[in-house]
Amino acid sequence: MEAYRIQMFLHIVAVVVAFGITFAFPFMIAFAEKNGVAATRFALKFTDRVDKMVVTPGAVIVGLLGVGLIFDDNTGYKDDFPIWLVVAIVWYVGAIGVSQTIMRSNTRASIRALEGVPDGAELPVAYRALAKQASMIGGLLGLSVVGITFMMVWGSRGGF
């Protein structure tokens, strides 16, 4: 039982560390955009770096610990795999896929769109289109974190 509790604790900590910071990204980017090209370029490079150094490794750790919890004798999921868990896992894998492909390429394209733009200039049209797309995708990814967390908490307590 102690190993299970430790693994659950680590799983939850990994979720908080890996995904908690992502909720600050839209506020930081919006603030940077109001402060010009240089601030926006810096904020985008910062979010890209945090994604590589914290979010992506954290997502892997969350997944590995989650798989470990599934096969732990305390959950009973290895013998009776509930549908809510299947949905949550598919949703998680899909969200990670979107984050690592579409969102990551959008961030890098946004950085490229600002390269060579003078610090005092207006944000270019090409950047604004990418920012709108990033805002929508980021919102869906944030909703995914909340939705998956809800399913994990509610479902694990017999709520579905």
Half-sphere exposure of 122 (CA within 13 A, CB side): 4
Q: In the prediction, which pLDDT does 79 show?
A: 81
Q: In the prediction, which pLDDT does 103 show?
A: 97
Q: In the prediction, which pLDDT does 151 show?
A: 93
Q: What is the mean pLDDT of each run of 10 residues along the chain (160 residues)?
A: 90 97 97 97 98 97 94 82 93 97 97 95 96 97 97 81
3-state secondary structure the chain: CHHHHHHHHHHHHHHHHHHHHHHCHHHHHHHHHHCCHHHHHHHHHHHHHHHHHHHHHHHHHHHHHHHHHHCCCCCCCCCCCCHHHHHHHHHHHHHHHHHHHHHHHHHHHHHHHHCCCCCCCCCCHHHHHHHHHHHHHHHHHHHHHHHHHHHHHHHHCCCC
Give me the number of domains the chain comprises.
1
Q: In the prediction, which pLDDT does 145 show?
A: 97
Domain enclosing residue 12, as ranges: 2-156
The dihedral region occupied by 81, where left means phi > 0, alpha psi between -120 and 50, and beta the remainder, is beta
